[in-house]
Structure 1
């Protein structure tokens, strides 16, 4: 696997799902794409570039990566990673911010209908961010902190792609 891809994809997957929930977002499949990602002052590839690199992997490596993501309820979409947010999760504001076995913790610092500010701590990353709700079908997130001890930052955009989460069932 390409070295940039090997370091950028885990960073993007660690921080991309750092989702917050407003009470009025749509339940269903959401696609999250990252951009303006930097680690240690070096620009990392955007999500679209990482997805293109994944398509160039040998079929067995690509399938292994896709299976690993599927076990977490995540699938690669045309422009990012796709995950399901259920109506129950949205109502309870209990959004899975990461794989429960990842060792990550999140704390919401401030919450309004249009903006959430949060702090996160993972084994390899920590920092703060904010999520802005553009509509019931789109929100953006900015995070900054450290990844593997190096300064890091990323912006992401989440968009609703459909109501049927069956395509993501494990």
Structure 2
């Protein structure tokens, strides 16, 4: 597996440690795509490149990656990482984007109907960010901090794909 792909997926998940929720977000499948990702002043591959790398893996490696992601309640979609959000998770505002066993924590610093500001701390990443709610089917997040001791930043967009999660389990 190419080193860029191996390090970029964890980076996407670490730098997006909290998916803030407005009470009226739609339950179902959400797809999160990242862009403008930088570590140590160096641009990291965009979501399209990561998805292309995944498709170009030998079938056995691709299946191994897909199984590993499925265990964490995520899968790769056409434009990003997909996850299932239940109505219960949205109502309780307990919607983790990171693996619950990752050692990450977050704190909401400010909360309104359209903007949440937060701080996060993971074993390899720390920083602050904000989530802006565009509608009940879309929100954007900007994060700045450090990843493995280097300055990092990322922007992401989450969009609702559909109500039926199919075989994708919630996290």
TM-score by length of 2: 0.95
Match of 2:116? 116
Match of 2:33? 33
Give the 3 Å change call, closer, same or farther, for CA 105–118 of structure 1 in structure 2. same
Q: Give distance in 1, aligned partners of 2:133 and 2:10.
A: 25
Q: In structure 1, the residue corresponding to 2:143 is in which secondary structure?
A: strand
Match of 2:14? 14
Contact 2:17 2:104 survives alignment (8 Å): no
Q: Give distance in 2, aligned partners of 1:116 and 1:137.
A: 16
Gaps of 5+ in 2: none
Match of 2:5? 5
Q: Give distance in 2, aligned partners of 1:31 and 1:97.
A: 11
Q: In structure 1, the residue corresponding to 2:167 is in which secondary structure?
A: helix
TM-score by length of 1: 0.96
Match of 2:140? 140
Match of 2:82? 82
Contact 2:22 2:113 survives alignment (8 Å): yes
Contact 2:37 2:153 survives alignment (8 Å): yes
Deviations 1:116-148 (A, max 9, x none): 001111111111000000000000000010001
Are positions 1:161 and 2:161 aligned together? Answer: yes
Gaps of 5+ in 1: none
Give runs of aligned pairs for residues 28-107 of structure 1, distance below 5 A: 28-107=28-107
Match of 1:24? 24
Q: Give the aligned length.
A: 170
Question: For the aligned residues, what is the CA RMSD?
Answer: 1.2
Contact 2:13 2:97 survives alignment (8 Å): no
Q: In structure 2, the residue corresponding to 1:168 is in which secondary structure?
A: coil
Deviations 1:24-79 (A, max 9, x none): 11111000000000001000011111010111111111111111110011011000
Q: Give distance in 1, aligned partners of 2:169 and 2:97.
A: 17
Contact 1:116 1:131 survives alignment (8 Å): yes
Match of 1:125? 125
